[in-house]
Structure formats: C-alpha cells, structure tokens
Structure 1
Amino acid sequence: MSIIIKFFVAPSHRAAAAVVDGGPDGTFESLSFGNFDVEEALIEWEGIFTGRSFDELIAVDEPEVVADPDDGEGPVLLVASTALQDALAAADRSRIIEVSQLWVRERAADGEVFAPEIATQILNDLAGLAHGFRGREHRLYCWTA
C-alpha cells in the first residue's frame, strides 16, 4: 500500500524519472492522494474503462515501472498506459461516477472499504489532469513513496 501518491504529467520517461528521488512537487503540477495500492488501482481502472482483464494487464506488465532506484524499498515511478490515460481524458462526469462505483465494489469484494465520494474525486481529478494534456506528447505518471 502506498502512503504518498502523486500523479503528474510529464513530456517523457526521462523527464519524469528525474524526480523519482524527491517527487514531482516544484517540477510538475501534481495531484496528491494517499493510502491505497496505486499499482493495483491503475490496473483495476484500466480494466473497468477498457474491459481488459486484470490478468491480461498483468501479463503485459501494466502499469509500466519507469524508475525504481531502491528495488521497491523507496520511491517508485509508474506510468499509466496510454489506453487508461486516453480513457480518463475522454471520460465525462457520468462515466467517472460509473467507473468509481465499479472500483469501490471491486475493492469491497477484496475487503477494502473505499468511500464512493473519494473514489469519484480521485478519478475526476485524474481525468481533469489527463484531459488538460490530451493530444500532446505527454504521459500520466504516478510517483509513490
């Protein structure tokens, strides 16, 4: 489970990886969240948005690890798939609510309680961030510590 989660958009893996040690604050506009398994969430969100299975996404190494200098013992940088990024950027309010409700149900099935309002806010904020960079050669990254 990640304690600190920061999503941000950067023009390249190289630019994003440059902030792996200290996080994106001061370099990239970021959204901060905490206390959920972000790697699992990225897979679940993509599965809900695209219909791809959890196992299929794991098999193709989603989400991609961009930087993990301490081999899982420190900050890690992930990149959302382009399919997830595009789905977030294109999602309207009703789709965000639908996906967040499905995600909350998935978490509940695994015994994790997640407030629906918080789930909707996270996905809404991510959609706004992704939409702001739609059509540009930027990617959506996630830094965790």
Structure 2
Amino acid sequence: MSVIIKFTAPDDTSAASIVDSGPDGVFGSLTCGNFDASEAVIEWESLLTGRSFEALVASDEPHTVTDTGEEGSPLLFVISGALQGTLARASAARLAEVGELWVQERAAKGEVFDPEMVEELLSDLADLARTAGGRGDGVYRWTA
C-alpha cells in the first residue's frame, strides 16, 4: 500500500530535500489513502478549472520534481499554480460538487470511493492550498 502525503514547501529544492525520508514533521502536511494521486490531481484540476485532462497532461501537469523511475521509489510532484489558486478560492459547496463528480467518474471506471472521504480530502487540500498561498509556498505530493 502506498503512502501519499500532500504538503507545502517554499520551492522545489526544499521539497526535494525530503524525498527519501518523507515530509512528515518537516512541512505542514496531510496524509491520504492508496490511489493514483497523479491522475486524481489531474482529474480534480480538470473538474475545477474546465481544462481537459488531455490538455493538462500535455502541459506536464502536475510537474514532477523527483522520480527515479524505479519501482517503489518515492515520487514527488508539485500541483499547478492554477489548481492551487482554484482550490484556495473554492467554496465548500464547490468542493463537494467536484468531489461528487470525481466519485462518479471513478465509479464509471470500476473504483469505489466514499463521497464523504473525498469531500473531506478536497476540503483539507483546499485548506493546505490556502496555507501555502499565504506563505508563497507550493503544494507538493510525495508518494512512497
């Protein structure tokens, strides 16, 4: 089972400094479950901003900071400024709507997610985006 931690950091260099040990205790963070976080971030950005999944992938979103390419090695990426800003400005109602749409998309692909968990995750991620924005930090995702 993968551990996924989303956290804030001032820049890619600072974020990359924890790639081997993880961000717990170093940066403000939240931990979430075992799912394809890279794909989820792209899907959430698509739902929140209206940009297509394909356009986001073509623009290299989310941006990878570190990836050795080795199976089981930590992966670190930063979410786009557009997604961070949109999350920071999103109302609770908008986050709930996006969560419901995402749960429906994943269900169509055979994955089941608890809607309340997704709504809470998006709310926590929005809080993290607000905190990061207030400090001029980015929002990163670390998986091991």
Q: TM-score, normalised by structure 2?
A: 0.95
Deviates more, 1:41-50 or 1:135-144: 135-144
2:113 aligns to what? Answer: 114
Give the share of equivalent positions with the same residue, in percent.
Answer: 52
User: 1:59 and 2:58 equivalent?
Assistant: yes
Counterpart AA for 2:82: A
1:68 aligns to what? Answer: 67
RMSD: 1.3
User: Residue 110 of structure 1: CA displacement?
Assistant: 0.9
1:78 aligns to what? Answer: 77
Deviates more, 1:65-74 or 1:2-11: 65-74
* Residues 24-43 of structure 1 mapped to structure 2, 5 A cutoff: 24-43=23-42
* In structure 1, distance between residues paired with 2:4 and 2:73: 13
Structure 2: which 5+ residue stretches go unaligned? Answer: none
Contact 2:132 2:139 in 1 (8 A): no
2:10 aligns to what? Answer: 11
* In structure 1, distance between residues paired with 2:33 and 2:17: 22
For 1:41-69, what per-residue CA distance to the aligned partner results, in whole angstroms no more than 9, with x for missing partners? 00000000000111111111111110113
* In structure 1, distance between residues paired with 2:88 and 2:6: 14
Structure 1: which 5+ residue stretches go unaligned? Answer: none
* In structure 1, distance between residues paired with 2:77 and 2:105: 22
Deviates more, 1:17-26 or 1:133-142: 133-142
For 1:56-89, what per-residue CA distance to the aligned partner results, in whole angstroms no more than 9, with x for missing partners? 1111111111011354531000100011100110
Contact 2:9 2:132 in 1 (8 A): no
User: Residue 135 of structure 1: CA displacement?
Assistant: 4.2
- Runs of at least 4 residues of structure 1 off by over 6 A? none
2:43 aligns to what? Answer: 44
Counterpart AA for 1:128: D
**How many pairs are equivalent?**
144
User: Residue 131 of structure 1: CA displacement?
Assistant: 1.0
* Residues 96-135 of structure 1 mapped to structure 2, 5 A cutoff: 96-135=95-134
User: Residue 29 of structure 1: CA displacement?
Assistant: 1.4
Counterpart AA for 2:136: E
